[in-house]
Every structure is written in C-alpha cells, then in structure tokens.
C-alpha cells in the first residue's frame, strides 16, 4: 500500500508539472485556443485556394465516428448533412486511414446531391495520428484540380498543430472538470449527506420518546425533521446533477431530457420536451457546456420560479444548436427570485463555447432561457421534433 501511494503521488506530481507548463504556454500563445474559431478560419483559408459550395471540419470523437466542428456553405443553400462514419467505404474513411488527400465525383454527404458534384477530403495529420478531416464539395464536375488540392493540403497542414493544441486543451479542461464534479459528488455523499441522514434518525428517535399528544417540543421537532428531509432531498438532486453527463452513445438531447424529467418530478412540474436531433454530434466539450446550461436553467425554474410547467426544446444540426428552457413561474424580474448567480454561470458557459445566451420574460408569465450556437440551417436536414 505505501508503494502504491508513492506511485500515485509521483503521478500527480508529474501531472501538476505538465499542467503548469501547459498553463504557461497557453498564456503565451498568440490568438485563440478555441477549436471552433480555428476551424472556421481554416475553412476560410481553404476556400480562398479551392472555392467550394460547402465545406466542414470534422474531428475524431471515438467510436469510429466524427463530429462537425465547423461548417460553411453558400448563401441560400441548406446545410450539408456530412457523412461522419469511418466504417463506410467512402473518401472520408479512405482519407482518414491513408492520411492522403482524396477527391471524388460523388458527394460525401448523407443527403443526395442532384447534378454534377466534386468532393475533396483533406486529412489533418500530426505525426502519425489523424486528428480530423477537412471536407469540401463543389456543385460542378472536376472542380478541384491537382494544384488546388495541393494548395489546400498545404493550408491544412499549416493549421493542424494549432487545432490539435486547442483540442487537447479542451480535453484537459473537460477531464479536470469531470473529475472535480465526481470528487464533489463523492464528498457530499460520504460526508454531509450521511451526517444529515443520521441527524434525521436522531430526531425520529427523540420524537419516539415524547408523549403522543402534541406539545411545543413535538411540533418543533416535527418541523425540524421536515426541514432535514427537504435538505436531504436537495442534496440528492445536487448529486444527480453532479453525476449527470452526456452519454457517448445517447447524445445531448437524451441527457437533457433525462435531467428535465427528474427535476420536473422533484419539483411537481409538468415537463414538455421537443427534441430535434439528427445523427451528427457536437464536440464533447460543447455538449458538456450546453448540458450544464440546461441544468442551471431547469434548476432555476424548479427552485426559484415555482413553476407548474417546464418547456424544454433542443434543436441540433451541428455545428448549429438551439437550446431553450421556459417556465410559467415567477419571471426573472420578481423580487423573490435569487438566481442571479446561476445566470452568471450560464453566461460564462455560453461565452466559453461562443454561444449566444438570452434570458427574458415568457408571455404571459415566466422566464425563457435560450442558448444558440452557430447560425440556423437553411432548409435543414434533421429529423422531425419528438414530443415527450
């Protein structure tokens, strides 16, 4: 056991040194470490040397699939539903495995394209590892000649290290946040939650020793027992929130729906869900921040608004997403509401992923919280909303 403790201490010491170095380097780097911004700039630079009608940056996300990090298209055209599976025999999988640019006379989207089309797929490679892909399509035959492909590949190669750095920084931050949430959950469960349960048992034992007829002492102890029960319930809900996360196989909408149903039941609210989610996924860091924004908005409605109804809608078409939480309780302007700290937390999370956060009144009563990332797709390609 002492040997294992020494090894663990050495691992933590090394991790501390590396994270300290990472923090120092991150502060000295020019520009942003936001993966979305870097990907958008990369697409702009590639379009300058290889004009395309639509393009995107796809990054690996485990499980043999890709997620859309950034996407662009010509004005007036619907957003493409890019193929994100590496299991299919297609230019995307070939570029990923061969680490060589691929061109094709067929589309690399799931949506059928009418007429001539040329696709180009550029791998983003650092060392021996493929980080992601740049995909571009033009609605004309033989749109990308060898010089265009070569120029675009050079642009991609010049940006891949910066993009990988930003992605790694995001991963480290997400892992640290997840570990901290789990640590807090364990401490609450094993510490104050257990102690409160014992206090409740002590009150029960004291009540059992008192006479059956009501007295001032029994009334006070009964009120105290009710308050302890309420606090324990709140702690259990807080533990549920800390442990909630986006399942890699379930997706963001499913995680939000589970949380909304649980909190709705705890707060006596009727929950109305509208989920509009296609097959493509958002980056894990973005999904995590959006889940926390939804949790904060739903918790505010339960604890502060005294709402009877909760409406939660989630429209996802990567990289676009719109999350909206509304209630019919007391509005944000009500004097009795004390959730300004929660509003600040949501604003910080939205800023971190470059989402637009709006908090305002809902007519005829209540509050609406909206978080929007990216621009609304034209034409759209996701499935019809599911009511639950």
Q: Helix, strand or coil for residue 319? A: coil
Tokens of 113: 């394209």
Q: Are residues 22 and 96 in the same domain?
A: no
Q: Which pLDDT value is given to residue 146?
A: 93
Q: Are residues 18 and 104 in the same domain?
A: no
Q: Which pLDDT value is given to residue 189?
A: 66
Question: Residue 204: inside a domain, yes or no?
Answer: no
Residue 101 near residue 122 (C-beta atoms within 8 A) = yes
* 373, burial (CB in 10 Å: exposed 0-12, middle 13-18, buried 19+): buried
Measured from the Cβ of residue 262, the count of other Cβ atoms closer than 10 Å reads: 16
Q: Which pLDDT value is given to residue 382?
A: 38
* 164, burial (CB in 10 Å: exposed 0-12, middle 13-18, buried 19+): buried
Residue 372 sits in a domain whose CATH number is 3.30.565.10
What percent of the chain lies above the pLDDT cut of 70?
Answer: 78
Condensed to tens digits (0 to 9), the pLDDT of residues 132-174 reads: 999 999 999 999 999 999 999 999 999 888 888 888 777 777 6
Condensed to tens digits (0 to 9), the pLDDT of residues 333-359 reads: 555 445 567 788 899 889 888 899 999
- Number of domains the chain contains: 3
Question: Residue 215: inside a domain, yes or no?
Answer: no
Q: Are residues 89 and 122 in the same domain?
A: yes
Q: Are residues 22 and 84 in the same domain?
A: no
In which domain, by residue range, is 368 found? 249-388
For 56-116, give the secondary structure using H, E and C.
EEEEECCCCEEEEEEEEECCCCCCCCECCECCCCCHHHHHHHHCCCEEECCCCECCCCCCC
Q: Which pLDDT value is given to residue 230?
A: 76
* 127, burial (CB in 10 Å: exposed 0-12, middle 13-18, buried 19+): exposed
Q: Are residues 15 and 148 in the same domain?
A: no
Q: pLDDT 10s per residue in the chain (388 long)? A: 555 556 656 766 766 666 666 566 556 555 567 888 889 899 999 999 999 999 999 988 766 678 888 888 765 566 778 888 887 778 888 999 999 999 999 888 887 777 899 999 999 998 888 999 999 999 999 999 999 999 999 999 998 888 888 887 777 776 666 666 677 767 776 777 777 878 888 888 888 887 777 788 888 888 888 888 777 777 777 776 766 777 777 788 888 999 899 889 888 899 999 988 776 788 888 888 899 899 999 988 888 778 899 999 999 888 889 999 999 988 765 554 455 677 888 998 898 888 999 998 888 888 999 999 887 655 443 333 344 4
CA 229 to chain centre: 33
Instruction: Show Cβ contacts of residue 313 under 8 Å, excluding neighbours closer than 6 positions.
Output: 273, 274, 275, 276, 322, 323, 324, 385
Q: Which of these three, 172, 190, 214, is where a domain ends?
A: 172
Task: Measure the CA dihedral 15/17/18/20, to 10°.
Answer: 120
Q: Are residues 4 and 134 in the same domain?
A: no
Detail the DSSP E strand segments found in 230-308: 270-277
């Amino acid at each position: 056991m002492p040997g294992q403790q020494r090894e663990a201490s050495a691992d933590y010491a090394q991790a501390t040194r590396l994270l300290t170095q990472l923090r120092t380097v991150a502060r000295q780097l020019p520009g942003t470490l936001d993966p979305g911004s870097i990907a958008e700039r990369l697409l702009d630079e590639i379009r300058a040397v290889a004009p395309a009608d639509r393009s995107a940056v796809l990054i690996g996300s485990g499980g043999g699939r890709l997620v859309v990090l950034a996407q662009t298209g010509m004005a007036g055209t619907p957003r493409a539903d890019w193929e994100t599976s590496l299991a299919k025999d297609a230019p995307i999988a070939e570029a990923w495995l061969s680490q060589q640019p691929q061109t094709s006379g067929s589309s690399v989207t799931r949506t059928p394209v009418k007429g001539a089309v040329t696709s180009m797929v550029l791998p983003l490679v650092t060392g021996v590892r493929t980080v992601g892909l740049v995909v571009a399509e033009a609605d004309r035959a033989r749109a990308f000649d060898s010089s265009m492909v070569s120029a675009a590949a050079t642009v991609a190669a010049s940006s891949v290290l910066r993009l990988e750095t930003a992605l790694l920084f995001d991963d480290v931050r997400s892992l640290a946040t997840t570990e901290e949430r789990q640590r807090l959950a364990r401490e609450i469960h094993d510490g104050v939650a257990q102690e409160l349960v014992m206090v409740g048992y002590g009150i029960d034992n004291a009540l059992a020793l008192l006479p059956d007829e009501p007295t001032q002492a029994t009334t006070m102890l009964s009120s105290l027992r009710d308050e302890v029960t309420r606090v324990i319930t709140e702690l259990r809900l807080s533990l549920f929130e800390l442990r909630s996360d986006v399942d890699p196989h379930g997706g963001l909408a499913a995680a939000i729906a589970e949380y909304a149903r649980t909190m709705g039941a705890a707060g006596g609210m009727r929950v109305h869900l509208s989920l509009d989610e296609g097959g493509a996924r958002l980056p894990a860091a973005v999904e995590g921040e959006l889940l926390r924004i939804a949790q904060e908005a739903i918790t505010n409605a339960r604890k502060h608004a005294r709402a009877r109804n909760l409406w939660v809608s989630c429209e996802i078409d990567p990289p676009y997403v719109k999350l909206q939480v509304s209630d019919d309780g007391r509005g944000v302007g009500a004097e009795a509401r004390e959730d300004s700290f929660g509003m600040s937390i949501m604003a910080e999370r939205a800023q971190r992923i470059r989402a637009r956060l709006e908090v305002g009144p809902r007519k005829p009563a209540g509050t609406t919280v909206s978080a929007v990332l990216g621009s609304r797709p034209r034409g759209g390609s996701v499935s019809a909303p599911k009511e639950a």
